[in-house]
Amino acid sequence: MSIQKRTYIVLLGVPGAGKGTQAKHLVKKLCLPQISTGDLFRFNLGNDTELGKLAKGYMDKGLLVPNEVTIKMVEDRLSDDDCQNGAIMDGFPRNLVQAKAFDDMVAPYGGVSAVPMLTITDDEAVERISGRYSCSDCGAVYHTKFNRPQKPDTCDNDGLKLTQRADDKPDVVKERLYVYYKETAPLIGYYFAKSLLSEIDGSQSIEEVQIGLISLLS
Ligand code: AMP
Protein backbone atom coordinates (compact mmCIF):
# COMPACT_ATOMS: atom_id res chain seq x y z
CA MET A 1 0.00 0.00 0.00
CA SER A 2 1.45 3.41 -0.92
CA ILE A 3 1.64 6.10 1.73
CA GLN A 4 0.07 9.50 1.39
CA LYS A 5 3.02 11.84 1.89
CA ARG A 6 2.43 14.86 4.11
CA THR A 7 4.60 17.85 5.00
CA TYR A 8 5.55 18.21 8.65
CA ILE A 9 7.86 21.10 9.45
CA VAL A 10 9.29 21.35 12.96
CA LEU A 11 10.49 24.85 13.90
CA LEU A 12 13.24 24.82 16.51
CA GLY A 13 14.77 27.73 18.42
CA VAL A 14 14.89 29.33 21.87
CA PRO A 15 11.78 31.18 23.09
CA GLY A 16 11.73 34.49 21.22
CA ALA A 17 13.65 33.21 18.17
CA GLY A 18 10.66 34.02 15.96
CA LYS A 19 9.07 30.59 15.52
CA GLY A 20 5.52 31.86 15.93
CA THR A 21 6.00 34.85 13.64
CA GLN A 22 7.61 32.73 10.93
CA ALA A 23 5.06 29.93 11.33
CA LYS A 24 2.26 32.41 10.56
CA HIS A 25 4.03 33.38 7.35
CA LEU A 26 4.60 29.74 6.37
CA VAL A 27 0.90 29.01 6.89
CA LYS A 28 0.11 31.38 4.03
CA LYS A 29 2.96 30.24 1.79
CA LEU A 30 2.56 26.50 2.25
CA CYS A 31 -1.19 26.30 2.96
CA LEU A 32 -0.56 24.21 6.06
CA PRO A 33 -1.91 24.89 9.58
CA GLN A 34 0.33 26.13 12.39
CA ILE A 35 0.21 23.91 15.44
CA SER A 36 1.48 25.91 18.40
CA THR A 37 1.27 23.90 21.60
CA GLY A 38 1.73 27.14 23.57
CA ASP A 39 -1.31 28.65 21.80
CA LEU A 40 -3.33 25.46 22.36
CA PHE A 41 -2.54 25.58 26.08
CA ARG A 42 -3.36 29.30 26.23
CA PHE A 43 -6.65 28.64 24.43
CA ASN A 44 -7.52 26.01 27.04
CA LEU A 45 -6.46 28.37 29.80
CA GLY A 46 -8.68 31.12 28.42
CA ASN A 47 -11.60 28.71 28.26
CA ASP A 48 -10.95 27.43 31.78
CA THR A 49 -10.83 23.77 30.71
CA GLU A 50 -9.33 21.02 32.87
CA LEU A 51 -6.35 20.90 30.51
CA GLY A 52 -5.94 24.66 30.82
CA LYS A 53 -6.02 24.51 34.62
CA LEU A 54 -3.41 21.75 34.63
CA ALA A 55 -1.16 23.53 32.11
CA LYS A 56 -1.30 26.87 33.97
CA GLY A 57 0.72 25.59 36.92
CA TYR A 58 3.58 24.65 34.62
CA MET A 59 3.35 27.59 32.22
CA ASP A 60 3.42 30.17 35.02
CA LYS A 61 6.75 28.73 36.14
CA GLY A 62 8.17 28.38 32.62
CA LEU A 63 8.21 24.58 32.92
CA LEU A 64 7.09 22.01 30.38
CA VAL A 65 3.59 20.61 30.70
CA PRO A 66 3.86 16.81 31.21
CA ASN A 67 4.52 14.79 28.05
CA GLU A 68 1.46 12.58 28.34
CA VAL A 69 -1.06 15.43 28.13
CA THR A 70 0.97 17.41 25.60
CA ILE A 71 1.39 14.45 23.24
CA LYS A 72 -2.31 13.57 23.49
CA MET A 73 -3.27 17.16 22.73
CA VAL A 74 -1.07 17.18 19.60
CA GLU A 75 -2.39 13.79 18.46
CA ASP A 76 -5.95 15.11 18.72
CA ARG A 77 -5.07 18.30 16.85
CA LEU A 78 -3.29 16.41 14.06
CA SER A 79 -6.39 14.32 13.45
CA ASP A 80 -8.38 17.44 12.51
CA ASP A 81 -9.43 17.83 8.88
CA ASP A 82 -7.20 20.83 8.19
CA CYS A 83 -4.10 18.73 8.97
CA GLN A 84 -4.61 16.32 6.09
CA ASN A 85 -1.62 17.66 4.15
CA GLY A 86 0.63 18.11 7.16
CA ALA A 87 1.40 20.91 9.62
CA ILE A 88 3.90 23.50 10.80
CA MET A 89 4.92 22.58 14.33
CA ASP A 90 5.66 25.58 16.56
CA GLY A 91 6.82 24.62 20.05
CA PHE A 92 6.41 20.87 19.67
CA PRO A 93 8.29 18.60 20.06
CA ARG A 94 10.18 20.13 22.97
CA ASN A 95 12.06 17.12 24.35
CA LEU A 96 13.24 13.71 23.16
CA VAL A 97 10.17 11.81 24.41
CA GLN A 98 7.92 14.16 22.43
CA ALA A 99 10.19 13.94 19.37
CA LYS A 100 9.99 10.14 19.35
CA ALA A 101 6.22 10.22 19.87
CA PHE A 102 5.93 12.70 17.01
CA ASP A 103 8.02 10.45 14.77
CA ASP A 104 5.56 7.64 15.45
CA MET A 105 2.57 9.89 14.70
CA VAL A 106 3.91 11.06 11.35
CA ALA A 107 5.71 7.88 10.21
CA PRO A 108 2.68 6.67 8.20
CA TYR A 109 2.88 9.89 6.14
CA GLY A 110 6.59 9.91 5.33
CA GLY A 111 7.91 11.29 8.65
CA VAL A 112 9.19 14.76 9.54
CA SER A 113 10.01 16.74 6.38
CA ALA A 114 12.37 19.46 7.64
CA VAL A 115 13.59 21.04 10.87
CA PRO A 116 14.63 24.67 10.42
CA MET A 117 16.30 26.07 13.54
CA LEU A 118 16.18 29.84 14.09
CA THR A 119 19.30 30.92 15.97
CA ILE A 120 19.60 34.05 18.15
CA THR A 121 21.73 34.81 21.21
CA ASP A 122 20.32 34.51 24.73
CA ASP A 123 20.58 38.29 25.20
CA GLU A 124 18.54 38.80 22.04
CA ALA A 125 15.98 36.27 23.26
CA VAL A 126 15.50 38.13 26.55
CA GLU A 127 15.29 41.52 24.79
CA ARG A 128 12.79 40.23 22.26
CA ILE A 129 10.57 38.44 24.75
CA SER A 130 10.43 41.27 27.26
CA GLY A 131 9.18 43.67 24.56
CA ARG A 132 6.63 41.27 23.14
CA TYR A 133 2.90 42.05 23.32
CA SER A 134 0.05 40.21 21.67
CA CYS A 135 -3.64 40.40 20.97
CA SER A 136 -5.43 37.86 23.11
CA ASP A 137 -8.22 37.70 20.53
CA CYS A 138 -6.54 37.23 17.11
CA GLY A 139 -3.09 36.19 18.37
CA ALA A 140 -1.17 38.87 16.42
CA VAL A 141 2.23 39.48 18.01
CA TYR A 142 3.95 42.89 18.23
CA HIS A 143 7.17 44.22 19.72
CA THR A 144 7.84 47.58 21.36
CA LYS A 145 11.05 47.95 19.30
CA PHE A 146 11.00 45.63 16.29
CA ASN A 147 7.36 45.40 15.23
CA ARG A 148 5.28 48.24 16.64
CA PRO A 149 1.52 48.41 16.17
CA GLN A 150 0.24 51.50 14.32
CA LYS A 151 -1.44 52.79 17.52
CA PRO A 152 0.40 52.15 20.82
CA ASP A 153 -0.87 49.09 22.78
CA THR A 154 -3.55 48.43 20.17
CA CYS A 155 -3.93 45.53 17.74
CA ASP A 156 -3.80 46.62 14.07
CA ASN A 157 -6.26 43.88 13.11
CA ASP A 158 -9.12 44.42 15.53
CA GLY A 159 -8.33 47.49 17.66
CA LEU A 160 -8.20 45.48 20.90
CA LYS A 161 -5.74 46.23 23.71
CA LEU A 162 -2.45 44.32 23.55
CA THR A 163 -1.24 42.40 26.59
CA GLN A 164 2.03 40.84 27.74
CA ARG A 165 2.05 37.09 28.40
CA ALA A 166 2.53 36.29 32.10
CA ASP A 167 5.41 33.97 31.18
CA ASP A 168 7.16 36.70 29.17
CA LYS A 169 8.12 38.45 32.44
CA PRO A 170 11.93 38.43 33.02
CA ASP A 171 12.19 35.82 35.82
CA VAL A 172 10.04 33.29 33.94
CA VAL A 173 11.93 33.96 30.70
CA LYS A 174 15.19 32.88 32.40
CA GLU A 175 13.57 29.62 33.50
CA ARG A 176 12.20 29.02 29.98
CA LEU A 177 15.68 29.46 28.51
CA TYR A 178 17.10 27.04 31.07
CA VAL A 179 14.38 24.50 30.21
CA TYR A 180 15.16 24.98 26.50
CA TYR A 181 18.84 24.13 26.96
CA LYS A 182 18.13 21.20 29.24
CA GLU A 183 15.14 19.63 27.47
CA THR A 184 14.88 20.94 23.92
CA ALA A 185 18.50 21.45 22.84
CA PRO A 186 19.07 17.65 22.59
CA LEU A 187 16.67 17.73 19.62
CA ILE A 188 19.35 19.57 17.64
CA GLY A 189 21.50 16.43 17.62
CA TYR A 190 18.46 14.20 17.19
CA TYR A 191 17.36 15.88 13.96
CA PHE A 192 20.92 16.53 12.76
CA ALA A 193 21.52 12.77 12.87
CA LYS A 194 18.44 12.32 10.67
CA SER A 195 19.78 14.94 8.17
CA LEU A 196 16.71 17.11 8.78
CA LEU A 197 18.26 20.08 10.58
CA SER A 198 19.06 23.43 8.91
CA GLU A 199 20.14 26.56 10.73
CA ILE A 200 18.82 30.00 9.87
CA ASP A 201 20.18 33.21 11.40
CA GLY A 202 17.13 34.35 13.35
CA SER A 203 18.70 37.72 14.16
CA GLN A 204 18.03 38.92 10.61
CA SER A 205 14.92 40.97 9.83
CA ILE A 206 11.57 39.15 9.81
CA GLU A 207 11.51 39.41 5.98
CA GLU A 208 15.04 38.05 5.58
CA VAL A 209 14.26 35.07 7.78
CA GLN A 210 11.06 34.47 5.77
CA ILE A 211 13.04 34.43 2.52
CA GLY A 212 15.64 32.08 4.01
CA LEU A 213 12.96 29.72 5.26
CA ILE A 214 11.09 29.57 1.99
CA SER A 215 14.22 28.91 -0.04
CA LEU A 216 15.16 26.17 2.40
CA LEU A 217 11.76 24.52 2.21
CA SER A 218 11.20 24.73 -1.54
P1 AMP B 1 5.33 28.84 23.96
O2 AMP B 1 4.21 29.73 23.61
O3 AMP B 1 5.67 27.87 22.87
O4 AMP B 1 6.56 29.59 24.45
O5 AMP B 1 4.84 27.93 25.18
C6 AMP B 1 4.41 28.52 26.40
C7 AMP B 1 4.42 27.47 27.49
O8 AMP B 1 3.51 26.40 27.16
C9 AMP B 1 5.75 26.76 27.73
O10 AMP B 1 6.62 27.52 28.55
C11 AMP B 1 5.28 25.47 28.40
O12 AMP B 1 4.90 25.69 29.74
C13 AMP B 1 4.02 25.15 27.59
N14 AMP B 1 4.35 24.35 26.40
C15 AMP B 1 4.29 24.72 25.10
N16 AMP B 1 4.66 23.74 24.29
C17 AMP B 1 4.98 22.68 25.07
C18 AMP B 1 5.46 21.38 24.82
N19 AMP B 1 5.70 20.95 23.58
N20 AMP B 1 5.66 20.56 25.89
C21 AMP B 1 5.41 20.98 27.14
N22 AMP B 1 5.00 22.21 27.45
C23 AMP B 1 4.77 23.07 26.43
**At CA 81, angle to CA 156 and CA 212, rounded to 5?**
55
Compute, in angstroms, the gap from residue 59 CA to the centroid of ligand 1: 7
pLDDT band at 192 (very low <50, low <70, confident <90, very high): very high
Ligand 1 in reach of 43 Cβ (< 6 A): no
- The reported pLDDT for the residue numbered 1 is 58
User: Are 169 and 175 a contacting pair, CB within 8 Å?
Assistant: no
Cis previous bond, 93, omega within 30: yes
User: Under 8 Å CB-to-CB from 134, ≥6 apart: which residues?
Assistant: 140, 141, 142, 162, 163, 165
User: Are 133 and 163 a contacting pair, CB within 8 Å?
Assistant: yes
User: Under 8 Å CB-to-CB from 55, ≥6 apart: which residues?
Assistant: 41, 44, 45, 65, 69
Ligand 1 in reach of 37 Cβ (< 6 A): yes
Ligand 1 in reach of 176 Cβ (< 6 A): yes
- Ligand 1 atom index nearest CA of 176: 10
For residue 154, list its beta bridge partners. Answer: 161
Ligand 1 in reach of 91 Cβ (< 6 A): yes
Give yes or no for residue 212 having a pLDDT over 90: yes
For residue 201, list its beta bridge partners. Answer: 119
CA 201 to centroid of chain Cα atoms:
17
Nearest-CA residue for atom 15 of ligand 1: 38
Average pLDDT, the chain: 95
For residue 118, list its beta bridge partners. Answer: 200
Nearest-CA residue for atom 5 of ligand 1: 38
pTM over 0.75: yes
Q: In this prediction, what percent of the chain has a pLDDT beyond 70?
A: 99
Compute, in angstroms, the gap from residue 93 CA to the centroid of ligand 1: 10
Mean pLDDT of all residues in 110-139 = 93
- The reported pLDDT for the residue numbered 136 is 83
